[in-house]
Amino acid sequence: MLRALALVCLTATPALACETALLLSIDVSGSIDGGDYLLQTEGLAYALSDPEVTEALVRGQVALAVVQWSGVDQQALVLPWTRMLEPKAVARFADSAATMPRAFKGSDTAVGNAIRFALAQFAPVSDCEHPVIDISGDGQENAGFTDARARSEAVAAGVMINAIAIEDVGQAFPITSYYRGWVITPGGFVVSARGLADYAETLRMKLLRELVKPSG
């Protein structure tokens, strides 16, 4: 009996560790109309369905969740934490992202409140090595808890914040500058999408940058 147990222990495959807990925080404030919202959900599904992204998610045993945010008291965890243990799990999550209902409509842009809400969601995935908030938006904070204070709380909690700034086509990069100066944490980064039509590919490249470790 003892010999059999020893054999099981020697041959059992150790559980892979979760490298990253990635919380995708999506802007659904008043500046996002129905068509814009659809571009975000379809863009998220597109990015997650990319073969390279899927491979990186599964290889890193990444945990994913989606939050939608708008005004001061308008944040919701719309897709709870899910471990990407196999490609089918990624496909199911992508399908859920494509069809998730919109939580809020027509309100302010409370970036700081969105960050604080996101920070409170990481307890179920405390075993993951790198907690990351991926926040996307097309406007600067105009209500609520200040973004800079929320960023300081993220730094203190050991949570990285990266961002996608959705810029108007033909304009400069004011939202990118805002996220770089007031939202992302040290070591984090911001990428720019030229309008929501560019969101899907920008998000795909951003996920690869976050999840694929450089070789060599």
- Strands 75-83 and 63-69 come out as antiparallel
CATH of domain 16-211: 3.40.50.410
Q: What is the pTM of this model?
A: 0.88
Sign, CA dihedral 199-182-34-37, equals: positive
Give the number of residues written for the chain: 216
The Cα 82–Cα 71 span in angstroms is 26
> Residue ranges of the domains in the chain?
16-211
> For position 101, what pLDDT does the model report?
94
> For position 105, what pLDDT does the model report?
86
- In this structure, are residues 108 and 34 in contact, taking their beta carbons and an 8 Å threshold? no
pLDDT tens for each residue of the chain, 216 residues long: 434 433 333 333 345 689 999 999 999 998 888 888 888 899 999 999 999 999 999 999 999 999 999 999 999 999 999 999 999 999 999 999 999 999 998 788 899 999 999 999 999 999 999 999 999 988 888 898 889 999 999 999 999 999 999 887 666 678 899 999 999 999 999 999 887 678 899 999 999 999 987 554
The Cα 120–Cα 49 span in angstroms is 28
> For position 5, what pLDDT does the model report?
39
> For position 120, what pLDDT does the model report?
98
- Strands 63-69 and 160-167 come out as unpaired
* Residue 25: Cβ within 10 Å count: 24
Sheet holding 190-194, edge to edge: 75-83, 63-69, 20-27, 130-137, 160-167, 190-194
Q: Taking CA 35 as the corner, what is the angle to CA 31 and CA 39, rounded to the nearest 5 degrees?
A: 100
